[in-house]
Amino acid sequence: MAVGLTVWLVTATGSSFVTNSYFWLLVLLRGLVGIGEASYSTLAPTIIGDLFTGGQRTIMIAAFYIFIPVGSGLGYITGASLASLTGDWHWSLRITPIFGLVGLFLVVLLCPNPPRGVAENNHHDGNIRSSYLEDIKYLLNNKSYIWSTLGVTAMAFLTGALAFWMPSFLFRAQVSQGLRPPCTKGSCNSIDSFIFGAITVVSGILGVCIGTGLARWLRNKVPNADPLICAGGMLGSVPCLFISIFVATASIPATYVFVFIAELLLSLNWSLLADMLLYIVVPTRRATAEALQITICHLLGDAGSPYLIGIISDAIQKSKPPSSSWSFLSLQYSFLICPFVAIIGGIFFLMTALYISDDRTAAQQLVEDTFLQGPTPEPTVEMNNPQSG
C-alpha cells in the first residue's frame, strides 16, 4: 500500500505540470495514477477484514468507505475552486497529493499488517497458500460473489456517468433556459461542480451511515439483508434519476433535490458491498476477490459509462443543427440509459440475495475446517537406542 501511494503521489503531482503539447504524457501519468490507487484500494479493505469481525467490522468498513463519496465530492469543490481562482486547471491536480502525503505517512507509521484471517481465528496458520488460478476458480464458483460483482459494476456505471456528466448537464440546462450565458472560455460549470460536489459529500455521508445502520438492525432478523438493502438502493434511485433528468427543463433546484436523493440511495451500498465480500470469501482469497471485483467494475462500469453517454449524445446532437437547447436535450436523452442500468443492477443484487446465506455459511465452514485446526504439528521421530543401532 505504501508503494502504491508513493506511485500515486509522484504521478499525480507530475501530471499537474504537463503542458498542452505533451498530452500523451498526461494520459500516461493519469493511467499510472490508477495503478497506484489500485494497489491501495484492493488491500486496505482486506486489512480491515483481518482486524475486525461482525458488527464492529461493519462500522469500520463504513468509516473507510464513507470517504469515497466524501473525497469525490471534495474533489469537485476544491478542483473547481482552485481552477477558478488561479485560472489554470493544473492547480486542481496539485491539491490532492498534499492529502495523499499525509495518508502515506499514516500508512507507513500506523497501519498494521495482521495475518490473514486473524480476526476469525487466533490460531491462524500462516503457511496456508493458494495459487491465483485456484483463487479464480474458487471465486467463479461463489454465486453471490459473481452476482454482487455484477451489481457493483452497474453501480460504478451510474456513479461514473453522474460524476462525469452531471455538472455539464446542469450547466446546459440553465443555458437552455436562459439562466446562464453560453460557455466561451475557461471553466464553464465551476458553480455546478461546486454544488454537485457538496451534494455528493452530504449524500455520501448520510447514505453510508443509513446503509450501515439498516444492515446492523436487519442482519439478525433477515439473513440476506445486505444485498436486499443494496437492491433497494439501486431500484429506489430509478424514479429519482428519471425525475432529475426531466425536471431539469423546468426547475434546477428540484433537479438538485432529486439528484441528492438518488445519490443518497446509491450511497447506501458502499460499505455493505465491501462487508459482503469479506464474509462470503475466505480470508486468504479476499485480496484476489477485491482485485478482481475492482477490475471488473471499473473496466465495465465507470471507465466506459462517460464515454458511452458522450457517444450517444454526440450522435443525437448531429441529427439537428447545433443550438444550446439541442445540446442540452441530446445529453438529456443519452442520460436515460442510467435508470435502466440501475434497474439491471437492482436485479443483480436481488440474485445475490438468493445465494448469499449459503455462500456465507460455506465460507465460515471453510474457515473452521482450514484455519481453526491451527498449524499442522511437525511429526515426531522416535529415536532408537544408540547402542542397538
Model pLDDT for residues 2-28, shown as the tens digit of each residue: 998 999 999 999 998 988 888 999 999
Domain 132-373 has CATH 1.20.1250.20: yes
- How far apart CA 352 and CA 127 sit, in angstroms, is 32
Q: Any idea of the CA torsion for 242, 244, 246, 249, to the nearest 10 degrees?
A: 180
Model pLDDT for residues 92-129, shown as the tens digit of each residue: 888 888 888 998 999 899 888 887 767 666 444 444 56
Model pLDDT for residues 337-360, shown as the tens digit of each residue: 999 999 999 999 999 999 999 999
For the ranges 61-70, 87-96, 308-317, the one whose mean pLDDT is highest: 308-317
In the numeric block, which cell numbers belong to residue 315?
450522435
- How far apart CA 156 and CA 309 sit, in angstroms, is 14
Would you state the pLDDT for residue 21?
Answer: 87
User: Helices (H) and strands (E) in the chain — how many of each?
Assistant: 16, 0
Q: What does pTM read for this prediction? A: 0.81
What does pLDDT average to over the chain? 85
- How far apart CA 257 and CA 90 sit, in angstroms, is 31
